[in-house]
Amino acid sequence: MNKGIANRRAPVYLILDHDYHMEEMYESFAVQAFAERVLALSANLDDDGTVPVVFSSGREPFLEEIRLDNYRAPIGQLHTQVDWGWGNVADAMRRTVSHYQESGAADPPS
């Protein structure tokens, strides 16, 4: 491992597409399984055990957090609060950057 990054912290974000082509992935719990893996990564990199999740759909990106103490099936619950649409990755990225800047985090996001 590179000595320059050992023991460094980084906030972890998860941006999920919420368009019609992803519906089967949500229903089969594949997205939930992926989010759990990202949360496990966060447990090793992040300092607070949370992962802000940004759902990209046709409307304003929806942001919610999953945590080590609430990770069981939250994606299945959260995505029902988001309209299906055609994902807007640019808006989701802007929402993510805004959230990071407002958080006051000093470590670079990943």
Contact 65/54 with Cβ under 8 angstroms? Answer: no
109 has a pLDDT exceeding 70: no
Closest by CA position to 10, among listed 43, 58, 32: 43
What does the pLDDT read at residue 82? 84
pTM of the full predicted structure?
0.81
Query: What is the predicted pLDDT for the residue at 1?
Result: 46
Q: Which residue has the tokens 């089969």?
A: 28
